Structure 1
Amino acid sequence: MTRSVHKFGGSSLSSAKRYHAVTNIILQQAALGDVVVVSAAGKTTDTLVKLWQSYRQADQQAISDVLALLSANQFELIADLLTDSYKDSALELLDAELISIGEKIASQHLQEAHLLAHGELWSARLLGLYLQQLNVAAQSFDARELLTLAQGVLQHEKNVIACGQFSATKYNVVTGFIASDEQGQTITLGRNGSDYSATLFARYICAESVSIWTDTQGVFSTDPRKVKQAIRYGKICRGQANLLARLGNPVLHAKTLTPLKDTDIKLVVRSSFDSSSAATEIVKEGFAKQKRFITNLDHYDLLKVADLHEGEVGELSRIVQHALHHFVEKDEVYLLVPAALGHQVLTLLAGRCNLVESNVSGIALVCQHGDGHQLAQSAKVILAENNVNLRFIYSHEDYCILLCEQQLDTDRLTILHDKLVSVSQELAVVVAGLGNVGTVFLEQLKEQLSRLNQLLPVKLVGLIRSEQMLFNPTGIDVQNWQAAWQTHAVSYHEAELLSHLAELDYEHKLVIDITASEQFSQLYPQFVAHNCHLICANKYAGTAPLAWYEQLQQSLKQRNLQWRYNTSVGAGLPINFALNDLQNSGDKVQRLSGVFSGTLSWLCSQYTAEVPFSELVMQAKAMGYSEPDPREDLSGRDVQRKLLILARELGLNLELDDIVLSPLMPEALSNGDWEFFVDNLALLDTYVSELAAKAALEDKVLRYVAELVLSDDKVTAQVGLQGVAKQDSLATLKPGDNIFVINSRWYQDNPLVIQGPGAGKEVTAAGVHSDLYWLCVSLAK
């Protein structure tokens, strides 16, 4: 059967609230039969270590204080989570264990490993009981009954048999960090031993995957707490993960990865504080491209070792319970060791080891194979320019190490990241909609790529049209996309598209929607969930119900993603840019009006009393100026949607129905079918001619106008046919053009006017390219 392992660290279980969150994750993300590995809750292990230190120092007052603290913390968790018999049982066991600890202290028989094991034991038992209290099938295990080591070596065959105790019909909650020797004595698995336990269990039960749930959203290019522009990677190959672990990466640990060697088990690093966020997968070589990383090296000793034996570094790492990294420079073997462990390692290697640098800091840069030497030189120059004096440099084809006296601050790390890591990013682009505008966009992309690639390498990886899709994660040749489409496009379902997006191994992903499909726009939240930026000419998402729209905007913000949609209104005209610039400069828009439809602009400008309006409508249809069913244009719904998009761009929380809509046709024609419309065109002609005659009496002409007025916290919005003065800029508009007239505090008497083609495949495609360019500019910063 398919099984998964889920591991939760101490911060994920630091309070009753966090236990609730973890329980929700288990019920939503795990399945019966899965294994749930837990660490000690919160700071419990630190408190137990303090108790051990107090015991060693024979400090009776400290022992009493720490025991009281342990009791209070565990009692609070139990009281907050459990009730009735579950609570009574847990408290009874806790009291017995604390009494036993006190007795061992009094009789001088306390053992460190046995003491430290209580943290995990308490977490597993409490989570198991809480699940049972919720009527969820669950049981808890003490890993000392499942994992056995003999002289420090795991007894794999015995352990596999022991793991047969896991139930296929229950959640199996088990302690991390601890095991036992052949005599049944407690053994701890060292620093980050719970992660190691999780991958061991995954190996023993032949799990499909193991998820490490932490307080970070995966693995980043550098510490996101120090560098705001840190990139969360969706996939990392195991080779780079191992190297990062040996170099002290705080999320990944070399020991954790060891059990997964030569298996297909997928390792996933996820956030237990935001379970819906994307994760980082650690995959086999060849299943992810190599990335760049900056890892901080704070407070390290650099040792030179003579006659280092094969396997000795691994043995040293086991003894000091910390991953150590060694390398060879000019036939000399060096060992990088945390300064707190330096003396211990020097003692273990007495006579063969010298201290080269003491308590130094710096960075390690991990990179694509072959870039390490050049990267070291570039980093050296950047650090020198920022007044950092280096004590030691080592470079390899896959990474480099630079050590200095001081820790690198946020500013210097950010500069290094911008100049050495961000430049290696790529943008994967999926284009949906291969009609008139989409085809022109792709033709323009052939010329634009060289310009875009100077900012950020861009790859076209997907094409979508109606019910067919072409996907190539390594890139589609833009020069020959049509031939590739004819040869390789296949039918698809939404789930397949989303799966392809999830598998894309790029720092940045983008979906460009040049469709007019409401159904496709409804997929935007799922695109965002897969960390895709959005560019669209599609109006439906921008005019969706407000709650949906705001949730999408919130999701984009949480994931630091962009949604650009300048071409959803005015084709290539920069109306969205103008409104944003006005607001960002401190201005306040008071009125926005204009002609927002190229089709209705052409019809109204061409209309005279000598030519029936219906004749112009049919002419526009024949020339392709209108929708295949011109009633879509005459309904005014398109203009209504455009005005709503601009209103929301101004920060107004409007729904579509808040905009008063007056169609450019009588209601009877709106309700009938196409044949009824054609048979009753006289109704349309009468409707327009009467309004035109009324306008002419006032020396005005008809225009289909959108208008938004903001005054005294009151908003009025409407679209409909209006008479406008012949001198007005709306009256003198070139047939087919759009015009946007903006009145604001700074443009009151003399409004800001943006005018030009509001439709056309070339200008619309160019507008999409403008959005793509500015997205690349933003990502390249």
Structure 2
Amino acid sequence: MAKVVHKFGGSSLSSAERYQAVAQIVLSHCRAGDCVVVSAAGKTTNTLVKLWQSYQQDDIQGFSDILLQLENHQAELIKALFQAQPQRQLLSQLDTELQVITLHAKQKTLHEAALLAHGELWSARILGCYLTQLGFAARHVDARRLFTLHQGQLLHQQNKRSCAEQLSERVLYVVTGFIASDVANNTVTLGRNGSDYSATLLANYIDASAVSIWTDTQGVFSTDPRKVASAIKYPKICRAQAHLLARLGNPVLHAKTLSPLKHTNIKLQVRSSFDVEATPTEIVKEGYSKAKRFITTFDDLDLIRVDALAQGEVSELSHLIQHSIHQFTTKGEAFLLIPAQSTHRVLKVLSGRANIVESALQGFAIVASSADIAQLQTLAAQLLNEQNVVVRFNHQDKEYALFLTDQAIDSDVLAILHDQLVSKDRELAVVIAGLGNVGEVFVQQCQHQVARLQQQFDVKVVALVRSKKMLFSANGIALNTWQQQWENESNTYSNEELIERIGELDYEHKVVIDITASEAFSDLYPQLINQDCHLISANKYAGTAQSAWYQQLCEQLFERNLYWRYNTSVGAGLPINFALADLQHSGDRITHIDGVFSGTLSWLCSSFDGSQTFSSLVLEAQKMGYTEPDPREDLSGRDMQRKLLILARDIGLTLDLADIELEPLMPQELAQGSWDEFLTRREELDVFYEQQYQSALAQEKVLRYTGSLHVLESGKVKAKVGIAFVDKSSAIANLTPGDNIFVIKSVWYELNPLVLQGPGAGKEVTAAGIHSDLYWLVQMLK
């Protein structure tokens, strides 16, 4: 059974009431075998650090006062949570440990890491015993029995074995965060706020399925929600941005937290222990979330320049001062941002290799995608100038920009920066399925069209899908190099994986553009709608499915307030669906639709003049790419039958394919067998067509292959696709070879029909028609 690791920070355990609240979360969300990692309660670690400092300074009275403060806090928790024997036992253990601390202090044998470890030890013991008191099988565990380091490096294989041995029973384990041991059994710490790191390490070692970091915020926000009311809580952010935020000192996650999750499928989420019902923020793998925008602020930092900075030295310094340190390089020089109260210790360790460049700095960092950061830096500089904020140091990197200032960035200035730099734009993620002739042209046209749409909406093509492989990038695919990206980065996929990836896209809007001719892909439409996707279809299968399925699909779209455009499924780029909709919206009622809806059959019938056999004309059309690979698909009339059904449903008729009479443009017997067998019998097609052609001439008419829909006064419908003999004077008779034509009669267009005519096939016009649907969708979403 998959295990889950839950981590609770100090603010979640700051009082007896908070312990009780955490216990309820554990009872609701944990099962036997899961692990809970805890930090020291409230400000306990800060108090222990002060205790250590007083010890180093030989401040006996200060040491005694701080120790009493620690004792009082822990005793208050124990007395509020426990009764009788458990209370006496826990108080006795606390007293013994405090006496040991006092003894070591007197003997000058007190060690910093061992002292700081008490905060987590006390939290784990209290929570574990309290859960046991509530009847939950729980056991508190000292992580020094689980995590071992040698020369500062974790012994992963040994630690994995230790976890398997120590955490094998079907109980809930409450594990101390922050601490570990070295090979000599000395206590070591994992860095300030290292309990997050402990949680993800443990998850890796026990092969957990997920980690939940429970904290005092509802998730990860675009900026501090306590300072900016309009701060955006993001449902997903990628691991790289989370790691960058941690390096910049953002308190939500510890800088090392994400490293144990590399190359794993362990899910990580940040949740609120103060608002359990709030939606969490998921920290997801690269490619599963687009880059977000953040502003994270700084207080009281020093900027120092370092000569000959060694590899791993920043981590050692960070561990020394128990605080994250941001490092960057500009113009070949290495800089560190250090909390001002720790600068002296850092300079002492660096022994003459470092000097202070700027001191007592405030400021902020903008984090965003590499494509946006330069523009955001320029805009931020303008805004700061307008607000009379003096910038003392500025640095731009690939995905962030630093502004270090004299004055603190107060709530008003931060709100202005957030409004101008971060506030959520309208976003549309585009998934394109089908990269055949039309699909490739559509993607090529996207380079211009998306740039045009960007003026109104943030539109990004995030996925390209073929029948066996897909290219997926949540941040957007570079359309000018998509073929190269496809070669290097596309992967095989299953339909389940495709739906999952689309569902994980954290965009305001999503649209799937179906340029396939696949019935199987159209079967995915209900699942795509469940992922809140709009649909644009050049594929005719969904629009001609059985009435019950089709109606359910339409209802599903309506319930979710989603759009479905499919103008190119009939007439390529001709706006026939728009025309029918406009007529009906204006109050008109359509009574007849006649026409030629196949560019292939239009070309064949209009080009035939008796100078060559009909079969040779078919082979010529096949060679030019006008037909399907097997031209009998065109001659069968089924494609036109589907198109007529789509038009019928567009005007509100409830029909199925079986309700439309179908007469093929070939003898029925020729539909059987292979294409090679057909070729040996092609004369039968020539005889068939010649007979029809001569019959039309005898009536002084011309042969065309048409679709006809007639709504009778009684409400009954007559629908047929087949051979028709039409008057030589009619628009259908004089059709340009390859064109489609739609002749529409209505109450208002009864005597003088509305005629739409133009190319009914072709890569460019069809792709342009799909772009028309996309443009329409963007206007509707605005």
User: What is the identity, as a one-letter code, of the residue corresponding to 2:226?
Assistant: R
User: What is the identity, as a one-letter code, of the residue corresponding to 1:229?
Assistant: S
The answer on 1:244 being equivalent to 2:245 is yes
Deviation by residue 1:338-383 (Cα, 9 ceiling, x = unmatched): 2223233333333332322112221111111232222211111111
In the alignment, the residues of structure 2 paired with residue 260 and residue 770 of structure 1 have an alpha-carbon distance, to the nearest angstrom, of 38
CA contact (8 A) 1:128 1:139 kept: yes
In the alignment, the residues of structure 2 paired with residue 29 and residue 416 of structure 1 have an alpha-carbon distance, to the nearest angstrom, of 38
CA contact (8 A) 2:298 2:363 kept: yes
1:23 maps to which residue?
Answer: 23
Q: What's the offset of the Cα at 1:427?
A: 6.3
CA contact (8 A) 1:535 1:772 kept: no
Query: Structure 1 residues 3, 501: closer, same or farther in 2, change over 3 A?
Result: farther
2:294 maps to which residue?
Answer: 293
Deviation by residue 1:216-243 (Cα, 9 ceiling, x = unmatched): 1111111111111111111111211221
Q: What's the offset of the Cα at 1:209?
A: 1.5
Q: Structure 2 matches for 1:158-557, cutoff 5 A?
A: 158-164=158-164, 165-422=166-423, 424=425, 426=427, 457=458, 472=502, 488-490=521-523, 500=531
Q: Which moved more, 1:117-126 or 1:253-262?
A: 253-262
Q: What's the offset of the Cα at 1:418?
A: 1.1
User: What is the identity, as a one-letter code, of the residue corresponding to 2:47?
Assistant: T
Q: What's the offset of the Cα at 1:116?
A: 1.9
CA contact (8 A) 1:296 1:363 kept: yes
Deviation by residue 1:444-479 (Cα, 9 ceiling, x = unmatched): xxxxx9999766547999xxxxxxx99955699979
2:140 maps to which residue?
Answer: 140
User: What is the identity, as a one-letter code, of the residue corresponding to 1:294?
Assistant: I
User: What is the identity, as a one-letter code, of the residue corresponding to 1:41?
Assistant: A
2:151 maps to which residue?
Answer: 151
Any gaps of 5 or more consecutive residues in structure 2? 432-449, 463-497, 534-549, 564-584, 586-650, 653-776
CA contact (8 A) 2:149 2:180 kept: yes
Q: What's the offset of the Cα at 1:14?
A: 1.3
User: What is the identity, as a one-letter code, of the residue corresponding to 1:33?
Assistant: G
SS at match of 1:380: helix
Q: What's the offset of the Cα at 1:144?
A: 1.5
Q: What's the offset of the Cα at 1:258?
A: 2.1
CA contact (8 A) 2:430 2:513 kept: no
In the alignment, the residues of structure 2 paired with residue 243 and residue 188 of structure 1 have an alpha-carbon distance, to the nearest angstrom, of 22
Q: Structure 2 matches for 1:31-42, cutoff 5 A?
A: 31-42=31-42
2:129 maps to which residue?
Answer: 129
In the alignment, the residues of structure 2 paired with residue 89 and residue 370 of structure 1 have an alpha-carbon distance, to the nearest angstrom, of 60
2:118 maps to which residue?
Answer: 118
User: What is the identity, as a one-letter code, of the residue corresponding to 1:319?
Assistant: L
In the alignment, the residues of structure 2 paired with residue 261 and residue 470 of structure 1 have an alpha-carbon distance, to the nearest angstrom, of 24
Query: Structure 1 residues 15, 479: closer, same or farther in 2, change over 3 A?
Result: closer
CA contact (8 A) 1:192 1:253 kept: yes
Q: What's the offset of the Cα at 1:336?
A: 2.4
SS at match of 2:316: helix
SS at match of 2:185: coil
Q: What's the offset of the Cα at 1:18?
A: 1.1
CA contact (8 A) 2:510 2:532 kept: no
SS at match of 1:255: coil
In the alignment, the residues of structure 2 paired with residue 478 and residue 53 of structure 1 have an alpha-carbon distance, to the nearest angstrom, of 59
CA contact (8 A) 1:146 1:162 kept: yes
Q: What's the offset of the Cα at 1:296?
A: 0.8
Q: Which moved more, 1:218-227 or 1:388-397?
A: 388-397
Query: Structure 1 residues 183, 332: closer, same or farther in 2, change over 3 A?
Result: closer
User: What is the identity, as a one-letter code, of the residue corresponding to 2:521?
Assistant: H
Q: What's the offset of the Cα at 1:486?
A: 6.7
In the alignment, the residues of structure 1 paired with residue 50 and residue 329 of structure 2 have an alpha-carbon distance, to the nearest angstrom, of 39
**TM-score normalised over the length of structure 1:** 0.58
2:86 maps to which residue?
Answer: 86
CA contact (8 A) 2:192 2:322 kept: yes
CA contact (8 A) 1:292 1:424 kept: no
Deviation by residue 1:707-727 (Cα, 9 ceiling, x = unmatched): xxxxxxxxxxxxxxxxxxxxx
In the alignment, the residues of structure 2 paired with residue 70 and residue 30 of structure 1 have an alpha-carbon distance, to the nearest angstrom, of 30
Bigger Rg, which one:
2
Deviation by residue 1:187-216 (Cα, 9 ceiling, x = unmatched): 222211211111111121122221111001
In the alignment, the residues of structure 2 paired with residue 479 and residue 68 of structure 1 have an alpha-carbon distance, to the nearest angstrom, of 64
CA contact (8 A) 1:460 1:478 kept: no
Query: Structure 1 residues 477, 240: closer, same or farther in 2, change over 3 A?
Result: closer
Deviation by residue 1:290-318 (Cα, 9 ceiling, x = unmatched): 11111112222222223333333333333
**TM-score normalised over the length of structure 2:** 0.58
Q: What's the offset of the Cα at 1:109?
A: 3.1
Query: Structure 1 residues 68, 235: closer, same or farther in 2, change over 3 A?
Result: same
User: What is the identity, as a one-letter code, of the residue corresponding to 1:340?
Assistant: Q
Query: Structure 1 residues 183, 290: closer, same or farther in 2, change over 3 A?
Result: same
SS at match of 1:254: coil
In the alignment, the residues of structure 2 paired with residue 280 and residue 198 of structure 1 have an alpha-carbon distance, to the nearest angstrom, of 17
1:54 maps to which residue?
Answer: 54
Q: Which moved more, 1:34-43 or 1:81-90?
A: 81-90
Query: Structure 1 residues 481, 491: closer, same or farther in 2, change over 3 A?
Result: closer
Q: What's the offset of the Cα at 1:287?
A: 1.4
In the alignment, the residues of structure 2 paired with residue 234 and residue 137 of structure 1 have an alpha-carbon distance, to the nearest angstrom, of 33
In the alignment, the residues of structure 2 paired with residue 516 and residue 79 of structure 1 have an alpha-carbon distance, to the nearest angstrom, of 64
Q: What's the offset of the Cα at 1:9?
A: 0.6
CA contact (8 A) 1:38 1:175 kept: yes
In the alignment, the residues of structure 2 paired with residue 178 and residue 451 of structure 1 have an alpha-carbon distance, to the nearest angstrom, of 55
Q: What's the offset of the Cα at 1:113?
A: 2.1
Any gaps of 5 or more consecutive residues in structure 1? 431-448, 462-468, 503-514, 525-533, 538-570, 572-623, 626-768, 777-781
CA RMSD of aligned residues (A): 4.3
In the alignment, the residues of structure 1 paired with residue 532 and residue 33 of structure 2 have an alpha-carbon distance, to the nearest angstrom, of 29
CA contact (8 A) 1:292 1:365 kept: yes
In the alignment, the residues of structure 2 paired with residue 32 and residue 171 of structure 1 have an alpha-carbon distance, to the nearest angstrom, of 5
In the alignment, the residues of structure 1 paired with residue 457 and residue 230 of structure 2 have an alpha-carbon distance, to the nearest angstrom, of 15
1:75 maps to which residue?
Answer: 75
In the alignment, the residues of structure 2 paired with residue 57 and residue 310 of structure 1 have an alpha-carbon distance, to the nearest angstrom, of 32
Query: Structure 1 residues 429, 328: closer, same or farther in 2, change over 3 A?
Result: closer
In the alignment, the residues of structure 2 paired with residue 10 and residue 501 of structure 1 have an alpha-carbon distance, to the nearest angstrom, of 38
Query: Structure 1 residues 76, 457: closer, same or farther in 2, change over 3 A?
Result: same
SS at match of 1:422: coil
The answer on 1:10 being equivalent to 2:43 is no
In the alignment, the residues of structure 1 paired with residue 135 and residue 416 of structure 2 have an alpha-carbon distance, to the nearest angstrom, of 53
Query: Structure 1 residues 202, 361: closer, same or farther in 2, change over 3 A?
Result: same
Number of matched pairs? 509
In the alignment, the residues of structure 1 paired with residue 329 and residue 195 of structure 2 have an alpha-carbon distance, to the nearest angstrom, of 32
Query: Structure 1 residues 264, 249: closer, same or farther in 2, change over 3 A?
Result: same
CA contact (8 A) 2:212 2:271 kept: yes
Query: Structure 1 residues 62, 163: closer, same or farther in 2, change over 3 A?
Result: same
CA contact (8 A) 2:192 2:319 kept: no
SS at match of 1:256: coil
Q: What's the offset of the Cα at 1:36?
A: 0.6
Percent sequence identity over aligned pairs: 53
In the alignment, the residues of structure 1 paired with residue 206 and residue 407 of structure 2 have an alpha-carbon distance, to the nearest angstrom, of 46
In the alignment, the residues of structure 1 paired with residue 514 and residue 521 of structure 2 have an alpha-carbon distance, to the nearest angstrom, of 10
User: What is the identity, as a one-letter code, of the residue corresponding to 1:67?
Assistant: L
User: What is the identity, as a one-letter code, of the residue corresponding to 2:229?
Assistant: K
In the alignment, the residues of structure 2 paired with residue 470 and residue 100 of structure 1 have an alpha-carbon distance, to the nearest angstrom, of 59
